[in-house]
A and B are shown apart, each in its own frame.
Chain A
Amino acid sequence: MRFSPHTAEDRAAMLKVIGAERVDDLFADIPRSVRLNRPLNLPAGLPEMEVRRLLTSLAQRNADGDQMVSFLGGGAYDRYIPSVIGEMLRRSEFYTSYTPYQAEISQGTLQVIFEFQSLIAILTGMDLAQASLYDGATAVAEGAMLAYGHTGRRRVVVARSVDPQYRAVLRTYAEGHDLEVVEAPLRDGRADPDEVRRLAENAACVIVQHPNFLGLLEEPEALCEAAHAAGALYIAVQDPISLAVLRPPGEYGADVAVGEGQPLGIPVSFGGPYLGYMGVKQDYLRRIPGRIVGETTDHDGRKGYVLTFQTREQHIRRERATSNICTNQGLMALAATIYVSLMGPRGMRQAAALSIEGAHQLADALEGSGFRRAFAGPFGSELALRSPVDANALGATLRRSGILGPLDLARLYPELEGHILLSVTERRTPEEIDRLVKALREVAA
């Protein structure tokens, strides 16, 4: 067996100490009727050299954002990841440890989480943040559960302009508590504050993404006010890179701020692992799901960090816990903490600004090309377009020019047949944007 250190002599000596003749004896209490009396039907084990060859050949059957130029986004972004992150993430004291149950030998992980909480609180403008959730989608769902727990109301209003996958996950989570999920319809690609005001009547919360899935800026101030007027909590969903340049949820009065932390130094990795974040107003501290780390001292007055407010959690409160979540996304939170530390305020702003500038240059360059902007409102770094050609065929054509994208919006919004979404990050150079424009113009002609 590949990773076992035991020799035959070790095993014999150990069995002797145990007082058993064979290893089989240790399994004697498993009834014969439930034993597997044949070898597992799996391919034979391989030495490392051959495993590497196998995995490399599988990986090579994928196109990827390193050999292609990617304009795909929609919730997962091909952003630049500084070298330091990969280096630090391979420090095995971080990745081979578990949840910091023993604080004295887990100060590294605990302090990382404390710093992560601090950075998320600053970026979102909220009073405090927790240690992370699975991803943006589950963070939205947990936010809705928090609002239900706080208000006791069973109606959840979500703008249709919120990431379709977030809405899908929200519906799954809502099922457990029989919550009613109501969508605020698209009006020119955005949520309409008057409509939201009407729907929010008797709702636990209103969930709005800004900029939304279609790339457009919402009117968070008006929407937040509409939610509060109805006594509903306002849950803001924002890309953390956009938070570097846009007004943060804490400033316009959001109660809960959630989102997807993948853009903070985490590879797209075919959809995971990612990083959900959640910041809240102080009032909701005891309703927050998952781990929270706090600062304290030991008996000698030395500063240290501990898991705290644990009575909210499943291992103590069991069926009355705020959520069943145990682990967070520790290592991904580490990546994000290092990312923000390296980039600093200027780097974070520059990542956002380059992306927004690139998207606007792309929009300008496509004027008169046959690809027309789908919606009129101001937009950030993603661009929804009406395509003169079939989105699938377009994807195949672009691939031949070494370009990944676009995202076919019809697969997520049936009403947006013939619409596509292009995403620009700071990784896209002016030359690459030109290349895309040329390719699109050729297709349209």
Chain B
Amino acid sequence: MNTPQDLRYTEDHEWLRKDGQVGVTDFAQDQLGDVVFVELPEVGRQLKKGEAFGVVESVKSVSDLFAPVAGKVAKVNQELVDHPELINQDPYGSGWLIALEGVDADDAAGLLDAAAYLSQQEGGH
């Protein structure tokens, strides 16, 4: 399972990049199976840490998406509307979900690093 070193992670299997981009992890996309639908927030919405901002659906599951940190939605990945399978194909790249702005650096630093995320996976799942 791919877990890039330069990202921060949450226990809900989401990642945050330094530039504010948010997505789901390789582990999460594998657990979900074929993603068929993604519901994303409006640009400009202010999110609290842990707030549900969208939904990702596979054929037989629905999962809420939670903001890893507080921030304002600056961009959403419109490509996913027609190509939700990008989440499966490239979870850390073209399968990104939203980009946040105004993210507090300390908030981001408080998330799991790759090693911690990996050990959590082994322990919990």
Rounded to whole angstroms, the CA-CA distance of A317 and B61 in the bound complex is 8
Residues of chain B within 8 A of A310, CB atoms compared: 59-60
A1 at interface by CB-CB < 8 Å: no
Rounded to whole angstroms, the CA-CA distance of A320 and B63 in the bound complex is 12
Residues of chain A within 8 A of B62, CB atoms compared: 311, 316-317, 320
Shortest distance in angstroms between B24's beta carbon and chain A's nearest beta carbon?
16
Residues of chain B within 8 A of A311, CB atoms compared: 37, 57, 59-62
Residues of chain A within 8 A of B57, CB atoms compared: 311
Rounded to whole angstroms, the CA-CA distance of A310 and B58 in the bound complex is 10
Rounded to whole angstroms, the CA-CA distance of A310 and B37 in the bound complex is 12
Residues of chain B within 8 A of A317, CB atoms compared: 62
Smallest Cβ-Cβ distance to A306: which chain B residue? B59
Rounded to whole angstroms, the CA-CA distance of A316 and B60 in the bound complex is 7
Rounded to whole angstroms, the CA-CA distance of A268 and B60 in the bound complex is 38
Smallest Cβ-Cβ distance to B59: which chain A residue? A310
Rounded to whole angstroms, the CA-CA distance of A46 and B57 in the bound complex is 53
Please encode chain A, from 66 to 85, with 1 for each CB lying within 8 Å of some chain B CB and 0 for all others.
Answer: 00000000000000000000
Smallest Cβ-Cβ distance to A308: which chain B residue? B59
Smallest Cβ-Cβ distance to B63: which chain A residue? A311
Shortest distance in angstroms between A307's beta carbon and chain B's nearest beta carbon?
10
Rounded to whole angstroms, the CA-CA distance of A302 and B71 in the bound complex is 48
Residues of chain A within 8 A of B60, CB atoms compared: 310-311, 316
Smallest Cβ-Cβ distance to A317: which chain B residue? B62
From A311, A316, A317, A320, residue with most partner B Cβ within 10 Å: A311
Shortest distance in angstroms between B47's beta carbon and chain A's nearest beta carbon?
20
Chain B: interface residue total (CB-CB under 8 A) = 6
Please encode chain A, from 300 to 314, with 1 for each CB lying within 8 Å of some chain B CB and 0 for all others.
Answer: 000000000011000
Rounded to whole angstroms, the CA-CA distance of A230 and B57 in the bound complex is 33
Rounded to whole angstroms, the CA-CA distance of A385 and B57 in the bound complex is 55
Rounded to whole angstroms, the CA-CA distance of A405 and B125 in the bound complex is 68
Residues of chain B within 8 A of A320, CB atoms compared: 62
Shortest distance in angstroms between B49's beta carbon and chain A's nearest beta carbon?
23
Residues of chain A within 8 A of B59, CB atoms compared: 310-311
Shortest distance in angstroms between A319's beta carbon and chain B's nearest beta carbon?
12
Rounded to whole angstroms, the CA-CA distance of A244 and B73 in the bound complex is 50
Shortest distance in angstroms between A409's beta carbon and chain B's nearest beta carbon?
47
Rounded to whole angstroms, the CA-CA distance of A310 and B36 in the bound complex is 11
Smallest Cβ-Cβ distance to B55: which chain A residue? A311
Residues of chain A within 8 A of B37, CB atoms compared: 311
Shortest distance in angstroms between B80's beta carbon and chain A's nearest beta carbon?
15
Smallest Cβ-Cβ distance to A320: which chain B residue? B62
Smallest Cβ-Cβ distance to B61: which chain A residue? A316
Rounded to whole angstroms, the CA-CA distance of A317 and B55 in the bound complex is 12
B 72-108 contacts with A by CB, 8 A: none
Shortest distance in angstroms between A306's beta carbon and chain B's nearest beta carbon?
9
Smallest Cβ-Cβ distance to A286: which chain B residue? B37
Shortest distance in angstroms between B111's beta carbon and chain A's nearest beta carbon?
27
Shortest distance in angstroms between B73's beta carbon and chain A's nearest beta carbon?
21
A 306-333 contacts with B by CB, 8 A: 310-311, 316-317, 320
Please encode chain B, from 43 to 66, with 1 for each CB lying within 8 Å of some chain A CB and 0 for all others.
Answer: 000000000000001011110000
Smallest Cβ-Cβ distance to B64: which chain A residue? A320
Rounded to whole angstroms, the CA-CA distance of A316 and B57 in the bound complex is 10
Residues of chain A within 8 A of B61, CB atoms compared: 311, 316
Shortest distance in angstroms between A244's beta carbon and chain B's nearest beta carbon?
36
Residues of chain B within 8 A of A316, CB atoms compared: 60-62
Rounded to whole angstroms, the CA-CA distance of A317 and B59 in the bound complex is 12
A 228-282 contacts with B by CB, 8 A: none
A 345-386 contacts with B by CB, 8 A: none
Shortest distance in angstroms between A238's beta carbon and chain B's nearest beta carbon?
31
Rounded to whole angstroms, the CA-CA distance of A311 and B32 in the bound complex is 13
Shortest distance in angstroms between A318's beta carbon and chain B's nearest beta carbon?
9
A 373-420 contacts with B by CB, 8 A: none
Rounded to whole angstroms, the CA-CA distance of A311 and B62 in the bound complex is 6
Further 7 A-B residue pairs, CB within 8 A, beyond A316-B61, A320-B62 = A310-B59, A311-B37, A311-B57, A311-B59, A311-B60, A316-B62, A317-B62
Residues of A within 8 A of B (CB): 310-311, 316-317, 320
- List 13 interface pairs A-B (beta carbons < 8 Å), by A numbering: A310-B59, A310-B60, A311-B37, A311-B57, A311-B59, A311-B60, A311-B61, A311-B62, A316-B60, A316-B61, A316-B62, A317-B62, A320-B62
Please list the 7 inter-chain residue pairs (A to B) with the smallest Cβ-Cβ separation, ordered nearest first.
A311-B57, A311-B62, A317-B62, A316-B62, A316-B60, A310-B60, A316-B61
